[in-house]
Amino acid sequence: MRIRPRSLLALATAAVVATTLAAPAQAAPAPAPAPPAKATWWHEVDPRPSNEEVGRRLDQLADRSRGRVDVRTIGETNEGRPVWAARVGNGPLRIQYVSQQHGNEPLGAPAALEFLRTVGVGNTGWHRWLRSQLTVDVIVRANPDGHARDWRYNYDPDADPEYGERGKGYDINRYHNPDLAPEDNPATEAGHIQRAWLEFRPDIVVDYHMQGRYVDDDGREITASVYWPSADGVAPEAVDAAKQVSVVAQKSIDHLAGGYVSQYPGGTYEGIARNAYGLRGSASVLLELSAMGQEFEQKQIRSAYVAMLAIAQTAADGSVDRIDPARADDIPLRGDPIRN
Ligand SMILES: [Zn+2]
């Protein structure tokens, strides 16, 4: 299946620029290279590859990219599964994508594999330019034990957690508190992610999750939701930078993936990755794909992929920095859940 074999990134950039840039042109920057149309084809992908399959796919990407996709693990789970990660590019601007902290929210991981393939394997002028501007670090599946069980938590039968479920495991996305040292982190995989952040110090972090189905106040279905840090103490510049990235995610999904993005009504707890890495100074964004059912899974994976590419493109060409952060406040609010 191919959806819209068009120049996705050129459109992404055009859409973002046309609809979000408030400032009039000053000194015109050198135009960024246009991505090849080939980069935009979509083909059906496995929405739930096993962790072994993720490892095989990453090995293939390392080969096919001639090492430009640099594969590693950031540690093991409590059951000894590798937590796979990969890095592409060698530019100064650093982006970190994290997928599937919650094991039963799978669709960010296949999008991350497609992102690595697109950016790492191709070698046109655009690819070389993008990789020269950015280094993108991708934690492909943060919670392989939870994936294996199709549940939210990690696997820790001894857990009696404040966040999580006794006898099952920890909610990884409540254990990123900046004052919690990785070596003291009771949620194993959260400690791995903390170390990966500390080693990489990304400018931008986007954490991919999934939510239920919702409508806006007019009854229109929301396909994804985004949010920026809301904890007390996040520097205003970090909030503004996260709002700029949120606008890119919204515009790219709305205009290029046929979606409809709302704000996510997230809480202020500092252990949530969105807040924790905002407190540490990153432009930290949460992206929640709605679980719309099997028939929409390819579209939802593609939505996450489109956002990954558009965030990378607009960071590389500098256009994300020219977005008015206040545009994020205009993103519609999430309304009521859809009762099936
Ligand atoms: Zn989640």
The pLDDT of residue 3 is 41
Distance between Cα 153 and ligand 1 center (Å): 10
Beta strands 283-290 and 204-211: pairing type?
parallel
Residue 195 has pLDDT above 60, yes or no: yes
Nearest CA to 179 out of 229, 233, 226, 224 is that of 233
**How far away, in angstroms, is 102 Cα from ligand 1 center?**
5
Alpha carbons 204 and 241: distance in angstroms, whole number: 8
**Is residue 27, in this structure, part of any structural domain at all?**
no
Task: Give the CA radius of gyration of the chain.
Answer: 19
Taking CA atoms, 249 is separated from 68, 70, 148, 162, in Å, by 25, 25, 29, 32
Residue 290 has pLDDT above 80, yes or no: yes
Residue owning tokens 């202020």: 268
Q: What is the pLDDT of residue 320?
A: 98
Domain count, the chain: 1
Query: How many angstroms does the Cα of residue 284 sit away from the middle of ligand 1?
Result: 15
pLDDT of residue 33: 80
Residue 229 CA to residue 244 CA, distance in Å, equals 12
Q: Kindly state the average pLDDT of the residues 212-233.
A: 98
Listed residue (1, 203, 210, 230) closest to 89, CA to CA: 203
Ligand 1 centre and the CA of 64: distance in Å?
32
Domain that holds residue 198: 8-18+38-330
Least confident among 38-47, 121-130, 276-285: 38-47
Q: Whole-angstrom Cα distance, residue 257 to residue 96?
A: 22
Of the listed ranges 10-19, 77-86, 150-159, 181-190, the least confidently predicted one is 10-19
Is residue 72 classed exposed, middle or buried when 0-12, 13-18 and 19+ CB atoms within 10 A define those classes?
Answer: middle
> Is 195 within a domain?
yes
- Averaged pLDDT for residues 17-22: 41
Q: Report if residue 337 sits inside a domain.
A: no
The answer as to whether 122 is a domain residue is yes
CATH at 174 = 3.40.630.10
In a domain, 336, yes or no: no
Mean pLDDT for 238-249 is 98
**Secondary structure class of 16 (helix, strand, coil):** helix
Tokens (6 digits) for 280: 């540490």
pLDDT at 12: 52
CA of 207 to the centre of ligand 1 (A): 9
pLDDT band at 68 (very low <50, low <70, confident <90, very high): very high
Query: Average pLDDT in the 213-236 region?
Result: 98
Between these two residues, 32 and 271, which has the higher pLDDT value? 271
Residue 101 lies in a domain: yes
Find the catalytic residue in 114, 189, 270, 288: 288
Tell me the backbone φ, ψ of residue 168, rounded to 5 degrees.
-110, -65
d(CA 50, CA 22): 44
Q: Is the pLDDT of residue 14 over 70?
A: no
Task: Determine the distance separating the centroid of ligand 1 and the alpha carbon of 35, expressed in angstroms.
Answer: 32
pLDDT at 339: 82
265 is a domain residue = yes
* Confidence tier at 21 by pLDDT (50, 70, 90): very low
* Sequence-distant (≥ 6) Cβ neighbours of residue 331 within 8 angstroms: 226, 246, 247, 250, 261, 262, 263
Sign of CA dihedral 315, 318, 319, 322: positive
Residue 288 known to be catalytic: yes
Per-residue pLDDT at 331 exceeds 60: yes
Rounded to an integer, what distance in angstroms lies between the CA atom of residue 250 and that of residue 253? 5
Q: Ligand 1 mean position to 237 CA, how many Å?
A: 26
- Ligand 1 centre from 101 Cα, in Å? 6
Average pLDDT over residues 164-172: 98
91 CA to middle of ligand 1, Å?
30
Whole-number pLDDT of residue 9: 57
DSSP 8-state secondary structure symbol assigned to residue 285: E
Residue 211 burial (CB count, 10 A):
18
Q: From the CA of 120, how far away is ligand 1's center (Å)?
A: 27
The pLDDT assigned to 5 comes to 37
Q: What mean pLDDT is predicted for residues 231-255?
A: 98
Residue 33, in any domain of the structure: no
210 Cα–ligand 1 center, Å = 5
Range from 12-26, 65-79, 130-144, 181-195 carrying the lowest mean pLDDT: 12-26
